[in-house]
Amino acid sequence: MKITRHALQNIRSNLENELATVGSSTHTRGYRRGLHDALAHVVALQDTTDARTPH
């Protein structure tokens, strides 16, 4: 599970960085919405993984 946590954290970090740098003039609302949706799914996966893994 340690590898899973690490991978999810990397994905989350990449999505957060992408959202921070997305310019409204260069990307469509759908692209930004997709990033937000993906981030929400990753956060949910992290929560599920953390709940199932002993700390």
> Could you report the per-residue pLDDT of 3-13, keeping only the tens digit for each?
999 999 999 99
* Mean pLDDT across 31-53: 92
24: confidence class by pLDDT, cuts 50, 70, 90: low
Which are the contacts of 26, defined by CB distance < 8 A and separation ≥ 6? Answer: none
Whole-prediction pTM: 0.81
User: Count of H helices and E strands in the chain?
Assistant: 2, 0
Tokens of 53: 């893994």
Number of C-alpha atoms within 13 angstroms, CB side, residue 14? 8
Residue 26, pLDDT above cutoff 80:
no
Question: Where are the extended beta strands (E) located within 1-55?
Answer: none
